[in-house]
Chain A
């Protein structure tokens, strides 16, 4: 591991000017530093900034401090009651040890688990060494993207929380060198295109302060359905975040986003449109699942995810619908 300096921040205002790399829980960054994939010369620990770890409702908005721990949000009773898709996306991610360490802001910025990216210089990787090529395109692509890939990169965005937030139309409050701004979570991650090393639209030194989620009529009837190789503590083979607004068996509005199959959190309006205004049954839910994967481009080893994902979306829709009947 390369040498670096380590400093603790005392206020958010002090972060943008330092030029240092921000570290929060460190579960991604320190991990990748051990692999010599991340090589920052200076680290600024932001977890020492007070006042950014709260979780609160402000009217119809749920506000998460960026430094709240995953485990706190995963078990927050009001989050569970009013927007289970958010709590479930966190509870089904990582292990309790890592959820105690990782923050809600940092979680959004976790990097891909593509083995060709993580396993270093033996393999070409445009994300790790721009211009070197992509070993996954001709390699073992069982864990790679069916949606949003490019000739340069088909690495999957591995997170769950961001997928749930995209389904819920969440917004980020940011503080950067050019001041404060807000950004939809859906606009945070870039498609890989020909520059897969640029994963987000954040500027250097820009920090996520808060995550705001509108929770109105849509939220209670929601779920995060995650299919894994083992039952717990694994990244998604495919996942579906679904939230419904229903009245007497008819879908007023549907939100669907996919995880584990795309290069960024993947909202599927074409699947949402299948459900809108129609009486829900299992056949319609399957139709939405098929629409969600209509644009999928499977590689050699990941074609099974089209079938698996279609069923996962349908199951998630039915689970969310069941919750709309709760008082």
Chain B
């Protein structure tokens, strides 16, 4: 799978999280209460982790309790993947691990050792055109508040690559792990059908 996009900026290095910098905690908590309980980034970071994220090498220390989602958001500052439920029930945290979609909130970061992670930030090369799935979500008005959208898009790209887009019913079945509280499902299904054609062509 296309986990190593071309023309990527330099390696990601862990640094202060927004919370450690004293910023945004209330803002984040207001939007997603579970985020307020995120694992600590630095204290207890006893496990060395080497992996590739969006094509870039990452070499960092994590607390073994850290989820892949918290590693991405709090240490690597890739805040595209969202924390909705933090229990694998909503799909907002969906990323690709070695080319397969997973719930990053229920994936121990430690399990990403020596593996490839693709997030919404790495789906299309920077500065260029959007990925056909991203463009299709815009074209078909497949979102309202947008909180679930990165997870929807990452799941949808997998849905197409898996071949689970034969009809609307199959798309709904294989997208059932992604909840949209705004109820943009009609647009989401239309976007996936459209993008499936564009992905096959391009």
Contacts and interface: CB of A to CB of B under 8 A. Distances in A.
Contacts of B172: 231-232
9 contacts: A3-B65, A6-B108, A23-B108, A27-B106, A95-B88, A96-B159, A100-B100, A100-B101, A233-B176
What does DSSP make chain B's interface, helix, strand, loop or mixed? Answer: mixed
A101 interface: yes
B177 A233 contact: yes
B65 A101 contact: no
A31 B87 CA distance: 6
B148 interface: no
B16 to A, nearest CB: 22
B39 A1 contact: yes
Interface of A: 1, 3-6, 8, 23, 26-27, 30-31, 33-34, 43, 45, 47, 71, 94-98, 100-101, 231-233
Interface string B85-105: 011100100100100111100
B192 to A, nearest CB: 13
B162 A96 contact: yes
Contact of B111 (A45, A95, A98): A45
Nearest to B96: A100
B65 A97 contact: no
A97 B176 contact: no
Contact of B65 (A1, A47, A95): A1
A208 B2 CA distance: 34
Nearest to B162: A96
Contacts of B103: 27, 95, 97-98, 101
A26 B177 contact: no
A231 B185 CA distance: 14
B44 interface: yes
**Prevailing SS type, chain A contact patch:** mixed
Contacts of A100: 97, 100-102
Nearest to B44: A3
A97 B44 contact: no
A234 to B, nearest CB: 9
B155 A96 contact: yes
A95 B177 contact: yes
Interface size class of B (residues with CB under 8 A): 20 to 34
Interface of B: 39, 44, 47, 63-65, 67, 86-88, 91, 94, 97, 100-103, 106-108, 110-111, 113, 155, 158-159, 162, 164, 172-174, 176-178
Contacts of A96: 101, 155, 158-159, 162, 164, 174, 177
A5 B46 CA distance: 9
Nearest to A47: B111
A61 B88 CA distance: 34
Contacts of A5: 64
B64 A4 contact: yes
Contact of B173 (A3, A47, A94, A232): A232
A120 B40 CA distance: 23
Contact of A97 (B87, B94, B113): B94
Contacts of A43: 64
Contacts of A232: 172-173, 176
A26 B174 contact: no
A3 to B, nearest CB: 7
Contacts of A95: 88, 91, 103, 176-178
Contact of B107 (A3, A8, A34, A101): A101
Contacts of A47: 111
A94 B102 CA distance: 12
A30 B174 contact: no
A6 to B, nearest CB: 4
A95 B86 CA distance: 15
Contacts of B107: 26, 30, 101
Contacts of B102: 97, 100-101
A43 B39 CA distance: 17
A101 B174 CA distance: 15
A45 B110 contact: yes
A235 to B, nearest CB: 11
